[in-house]
A and B are shown apart, each in its own frame.
Chain A
Amino acid sequence: DAGITQSPRHKVTETGTPVTLRCHQTENHRYMYWYRQDPGHGLRLIHYSYGVKDTDKGEVSDGYSVSRSKTEDFLLTLESATSSQTSVYFCAISESQGINQPQHFGDGTRLSIL
């Protein structure tokens, strides 16, 4: 299994509070991604990073911000959590851009916002 650790694995918080999810990789891969998974929607890309301090928006980026200060860590922040952000969040990594570069996923963080 790819060395990807997501923390925390579960979190319950209240509407309006800030939340930060962490993704840590030991593979030294260049690309890192944050997805959310919701019933009936599959996996949707929130933000991704193509290098330290280099990030870009995905399909559902509103209400989320990211930071990557080190190759191994990619943080996802919900500045003011809303109930619509209750979801399972997955981090993924890939070695480089280009053909046939698979993405490897962590085991997810289940986030509940009450």
Chain B
Amino acid sequence: QQQVKQSPQSLIVQKGGISIINCAYENTAFDYFPWYQQFPGKGPALLIAIRPDVSEKKEGRFTISFNKSAKQFSLHIMDSQPGDSATYFCAASPAGYSTLTFGKGTMLLVSP
């Protein structure tokens, strides 16, 4: 049973455009929602994270939007750059637990 559904599987965006990746979850016990960025040959790296007590969190060009009632959250990358080309994973963790459940990933390509 996939507990975190991520879409799209792949995404091509023009330089300067907005990249949007969506995730939906089923487990209402999830309490922590991080996004990870992974470049080829490297491990995933934490990009930004949110908890359900806020609806939006912004760090530079990266924003998480969170909709608790719909059990959905999304990553927006503003002014997308070729250096943002990577695979992005959403994840979720229940309150009081350290383990993460990951989405299947989105491969983003930002064309020059």
Binding site for B on A (CB under 8 A): 4, 31, 33, 40-45, 48, 50, 58-59, 90, 92, 94, 96-108
Known contacts A40-B104, A99-B32: A105-B99 contact under CB 8 Å: no
- Is the pair A99, B98 in contact by a Cβ cutoff of 8 Å? no
Give A101 to B41 CA distance when docked, in angstroms: 24
Number of chain B residues close to chain A: CB under 8 A? 25
Binding site for A on B (CB under 8 A): 6, 31-32, 34, 36, 41-46, 49, 51, 89, 95-105
Provide the residues of chain A in CB contact with B34, threshold 8 Å: 102
Question: In angstroms, how far is the closest chain A Cβ from the Cβ of B65?
Answer: 18
Ordered by A's residue number, 9 sampled pairs between the chains whose C-beta atoms are within 8 Å are A44-B102, A48-B99, A59-B101, A98-B96, A100-B51, A103-B98, A105-B36, A108-B41, A108-B43
- Is the pair A45, B98 in contact by a Cβ cutoff of 8 Å? no
Interface majority SS on B: helix, strand, loop or mixed? loop
- Is the pair B104, A42 in contact by a Cβ cutoff of 8 Å? yes
Known contacts A42-B89, A44-B102, A48-B98: A99-B31 contact under CB 8 Å: yes
Sample of 4 more A-B contacts, CB < 8 Å, known A42-B89, A42-B105: A99-B32, A99-B51, A105-B43, A107-B43
- Is the pair A31, B104 in contact by a Cβ cutoff of 8 Å? no
Give A103 to B97 CA distance when docked, in angstroms: 12
Known contacts A42-B89, A43-B89: A103-B100 contact under CB 8 Å: yes
Give A33 to B93 CA distance when docked, in angstroms: 14
Q: Name the residue of chain B whose CB is nearest to the CB of A1.
A: B45
Provide the residues of chain A in CB contact with B89, threshold 8 Å: 42-43
Provide the residues of chain B in CB contact with A50, threshold 8 Å: 98
Known contacts A48-B99, A97-B96: A41-B43 contact under CB 8 Å: no
Known contacts A43-B89, A90-B43, A107-B42: A100-B99 contact under CB 8 Å: no
- Is the pair A106, B51 in contact by a Cβ cutoff of 8 Å? no
- Is the pair A42, B51 in contact by a Cβ cutoff of 8 Å? no
Provide the residues of chain B in CB contact with A40, threshold 8 Å: 104
